[in-house]
Structure 1
């Protein structure tokens, strides 16, 4: 049993709240249920859905942020994904892209493979991001706080890291109905 069980919003509710604040910003969405839920909630050409490649969303987002310094780049990530690629946090912190906003939806489980526990209940990913050099780091549990902090981060120079504690419920969402080459083509055209 998670200590916060029953008190948190779902990842899909958190994703929906964040997407309400976005317009044409490039959004890199990690693999698994986060991509599926975002696709169901609000598919946009500016969304790059990860199909596989666990742990790589912030690395791809970093490349986009460096290539497009005048665009605010947003990454939707999960705790399991971040744990898979912790080195990317250090690279982001070292390169300090001002236009980089990294949101991590932390449900303390590998949700796409059967809810096996991660170690994010022990390894505080927000503190890891701060130690890695992210400029703005916040941890929230409630929808209102997510909206407030994300709005603030969209206005500030980053890199920024927002850890959103969510429950382990997954939205009943089908697969992303686009093939990877199509996702890539439309994303590149949308952010050109």
Structure 2
């Protein structure tokens, strides 16, 4: 299933702040759902706005969130897994997208916040201005791919596809605005592991 869902705009004209988009996505995450976030500002904003034991913050491991998320899906198919990463992270391990598709995890929601740059390292431009990651996911065989250009469309998409088998990819066009005063994740890697392990094994 492929859906553009909404009229597209030039990506550089997006009015969505990534932190607002993260909050919107997390409003649709249930208590038992697992969340994996990439290193950098995405993990920092997730930690600041919606810290929970079932969040796994990938500290210092750029590009590996999607691979870890896939492994979690396969190991625990009864729990929904959200992968939160940026365009730079996704492009860094682009082979994960066809691998995810080949494994057919019906419990995976892959969210890419595309601001066309490597924000955490100084805002250098990424190639997502010319390369459409959602089209790569569609061609690879994701069950649903959707490009989102307005904040309210996040609720619409997550509601529309809540009972649809994955893998599902939501590419959210974001602007370059972020709150650089957002604190770093204060949990140690060991604490993140232990809290997440408990959440992973928790039954409801």
TM-superposition CA deviations, 1:105-156 (whole Å, max 9, x none) = 0000001000000000100000001111111000011011111112233321
Query: Counterparts of 1:4 and 1:56 in 2: how far apart (Å)?
Result: 25
Query: How many angstroms apart in 2 are the aligned matches of 1:95 and 1:58?
Result: 13
Select 2:77's aligned residue among 66, 69, 81: 69
Does the 8 Å contact 2:25/2:155 carry over to 1?
yes
Partner residue of 2:55?
Answer: 47
Return the offset for 1:4.
4.5
Report whether the alignment pairs 1:80 with 2:88. yes
Partner SS for 1:45: coil
Aligned partners of 1:66 and 1:97 also within 8 Å = yes
How many residue pairs align between the two structures? 190
What is residue 183 of structure 1 aligned with on the other side?
A: 192
TM-score (norm 2): 0.90
The residue aligned with 1:13 is 20
Q: Which runs of 5+ in 1 are unaligned?
A: none
Matches within 5 A, 1:154-173: 154-171=162-179, 172-173=181-182
Map 1:91-130 onto structure 2 (within 5 A).
91-130=99-138
RMSD of the TM alignment (CA)? 1.1
Give the alignment of 1:33-44 within 5 angstroms.
33-44=41-52
Measured in 1, the distance between the counterparts of 2:146 and 2:14 equals 19
Question: Is the 1:101–1:154 Cα contact (8 Å) retained in structure 2?
Answer: no
**What 5-or-longer segments of structure 2 have no aligned partner?**
1-9
